[in-house]
Amino acid sequence: MVYAPTRPDPSLPPVRVNLYSDTQTKPSAGMKDAMMRAEVGDEQHGDDPTVHELCDRMAALLGKEAAVFLPSGTMCNQIAILTHCRPGDEIIAHESAHIITSEGGGPGALTGVSILGLPGPRGMFVVDTLRAGFREKRRNAPPQTLLEVEQTANFGGGAVWPIAQLDAVLQAGKAQGLATHMDGARLMNAVVAAGVPAHEMTAHCDSVWLDFTKGLGAPLGAVLCGPADFIDQAWRWKQRLGGSLRQAGVCAAACLYALDHNVDRLAEDHGNAQRLARGLAQIEGLAVETPETNLVFFDTRATGLTADAFADRVRQEGVMISTMGKYRARACTHLDVDAAGVDLALQVMRAALAG
Ligand SMILES: *Cc1c(COP(=O)(O)O)cnc(C)c1O
C-alpha cells in the first residue's frame, strides 16, 4: 500500500501528547451536544437551517455576499479554482502553497491549470516579486487569472501576512486583472495573533474560506465565501464533485459551536507554541523558527538525525510530531494540548537527544 493511510501501529505506545496537527482534535462534549441538538434538513435542497445559519454568519464574518458549506478545505480550494479559472490558465501563488504541495495535483487534474510558484520568506512574497511574475498578454503565454495567498502560511511556519503587505499584494493582483483567492485554513489564527478583524484581512480577496477542522476543533467542514454569483457557480462544482450534502446541519452545528467557543481561545494555542519554541531552543542541536501562531517548525540537522528519525524516536515515548522535509519537523499546538502537555513533550524531546 502506498497511498492509503496506514492504521495505527499496535506495537507503539499510546499517544500522550499529540503535536502532529491541529486537525487531530476530537469534538468536545459541548460540541457533540450541539451536534445532537441541531435542526437539520436536506442541505442540497436548501432545507438545512443550521447550514444556512453557518453560511450567513461566515459571509458576515468575512465580509462577503454569500457562502457555501463544504466538507473540507481542499474542496474549497479546488472548487474556487474550478470556478475562477479555465483550462490552460495560470494561477500565481507562493511556491510552498498548499494547492501546489498538498492537494494531489488537484488544480492540474481537475481544472487543468498550471501554477506559478513565487519565492519569498515564510510563505509570503512582496509586490515586486508578484510583478516580476506577471506575464505579458501574448498568444503563447498562459493567461494568468488567479492570485492565491495563504493566511496563515502553513509551510511558511504558520506566518501571518502583515495587513499592509497582504493588501498591497492583493491590490496589485487586482490591478493586473487577476481574481484573488485566500486559503484561510487557519485564518482565525491570523486574526487572533494580529488583532486585525477577519473582514479587514479578506477585504481584497474575491473568495476566501475558513477550515473548521484546524484549530477550531470541528470533526469536518469548511465554508467558502465570495460574491453571490461566484457562490452560485461554486454550487455547480459542489454538486458535480459529490460535495452536496443532506442533513449536514449536524456538522454545521459543530462549526457554529466552534465559532462561539473556540476562536478567542486560539490565543492559548499561540502562547503554548511560544512556550514550546522557547523550550526547543534550549535543546542542543535543534534550530527553531520563531512561531507567529500555533505552528512550530524546527530543524534537526545539527543533531545528526533526520526529522523522521527524530519523530520516530519521540513517538516511542508517546509524543507525536510531523515532518515537513528531511530535517524540518513541525509541532502544532491546539485545544487538546495544554501547557503541561507542552512541558511533557519537551521533556521527551530533550531525553530523546540526550545520550
Ligand atoms: C489543511 C489545509 C488545507 C486543506 O484543508 P482540509 O480541510 O484538510 O482539506 C488547505 N490549505 C492549508 C493552508 C491547510 O493548512
7 Cα: distance to centroid of ligand 1 (angstroms) = 21
Predicted local confidence at residue 1, as pLDDT: 84
Instruction: Report pLDDT for 312.
Output: 97
Nearest alpha carbon, ligand 1 atom 5: 73
Burial of 264 (0-12, 13-18, 19+ CB in 10 A): exposed
Quick one: pLDDT at residue 254? 98
What is the Cα–Cα distance from 147 to 138, expressed in whole angstroms? Answer: 19
Ligand 1 contacts CB of residue 98 (under 6 A): yes
Q: Whose CA is closest to atom 1 on ligand 1? A: 185
With contact defined as beta carbons under 8 Å apart, do 329 and 310 qualify? yes
The percent helix, strand, coil of the chain (3-state, each to 5) is: 45, 15, 40
Please give the CATH architecture assigned to the domain spanning 29-261: 3-Layer(aba) Sandwich (3.40)
Q: What's residue 194's pLDDT?
A: 98
Domain ranges of the chain: 29-261, 265-354
Distance CA 284, CA 33 (A): 45
Query: With a threshold of 0.75, does the pTM exceed it?
Result: yes
Residue 50: predicted pLDDT: 98
Residue 154 CB less than 6 A away from ligand 1: yes
Taking only the tens of pLDDT, the chain with its 355 residues reads: 899 999 999 999 999 999 999 999 999 999 999 999 999 999 999 999 999 999 999 999 999 999 999 999 999 999 999 999 999 999 999 999 999 999 999 999 999 999 999 999 999 999 999 999 999 999 999 999 999 999 999 999 999 999 999 999 999 999 999 999 999 999 999 999 999 999 999 999 999 999 999 999 999 999 999 999 999 999 999 999 999 999 999 999 999 999 999 999 999 999 999 999 999 999 999 999 999 999 999 999 999 999 999 999 999 999 999 999 999 999 999 999 999 999 999 999 999 999 6
Are 33 and 256 in contact by the 8 Å Cβ rule? The answer is no
Spatial strand order of the sheet with 287-288 comes to: 287-288, 295-299, 328-332, 322-323
Ligand 1 midpoint to CA 345 (Å): 25
Q: Is the CB of 152 under 6 A from ligand 1?
A: no
Q: Ligand 1, closest atom to CA 214?
A: 1
Pocket of ligand 1 contains residue 176 by CB under 6 Å: no
Protein fold of 265-354: Aspartate Aminotransferase, domain 1 (3.90.1150)
- Of residues 353, 354, 300, 293, the one with CA closest to residue 326: 300
Contact 121, 96 (CB under 8 A): no
Ligand 1: does its nearest atom lie under 6 Å from the Cβ of 185?
Answer: yes
- What are the C-alpha distances in Å from 110 to residues 4, 76, 104, 114, 142? 21, 13, 10, 11, 17
